[in-house]
Amino acid sequence: MNQIAQIDFNNLQKVASPRLDTGSTLAHLINNPNGPDVIDLAFFFAGSLALLYLIYGGITYSLSKGDPKAVAAAQARLTYAIAGLIIVFSAFWILQITGLFFGFTAFGF
């Protein structure tokens, strides 16, 4: 029990994160083989938000009960959500094709 409190802080080694090391470049952070890339996380969150917005639009459309204003607002939400998904997937494929031309890999493909 007493051994937990007896840590010698002078002998601890400094452990640097490979992602946030002082020698890291922006390219290393974006295309890091040791963990999830920044681009992976950005596409995941953007796609998830667009999908949730699509679900929200569908729920509001089904609960509009024929009210013209509510139906129009729900249709606008659905349109914006579909446009957001198209933009996210288009950006993903543009990045993949650009990677083929310039020789970098993204998303492990």
Q: Is residue 11 part of a domain?
A: no
Residue 23 lies in a domain: no
Range with lowest mean pLDDT among 66-70, 76-80, 83-87, 93-97: 93-97
Residue of 73, 72, 78, 71 whose CA lies nearest to 57: 78
Side-chain-side CA neighbours of residue 52 (13 Å): 6
Question: In terms of pTM, does the model score above 0.75?
Answer: no
| pLDDT, tens only, 33-68 | 665 567 778 888 888 999 999 999 999 999 998 899
In a domain, 83, yes or no: yes
Q: What integer best gives the mean pLDDT of the chain?
A: 75
Angle between helix 68-102 and helix 38-62 axes, rounded to 10 deg:
160
Q: Is the CB of residue 54 less than 8 Å from the CB of residue 82?
A: yes
The domain tally of the chain equals 1
What is the chain's length?
Answer: 109
18 part of a folded domain: no
Judge whether 109 lies within some domain. no
Indicate whether 14 belongs to any domain: no
Domain that holds residue 47: 36-102
Looking at the domain assignment, is residue 82 inside a domain? yes
Is 55 a member of any domain? Answer: yes
pLDDT higher than 50, residue 19: no
pLDDT score of 22 more than 90: no
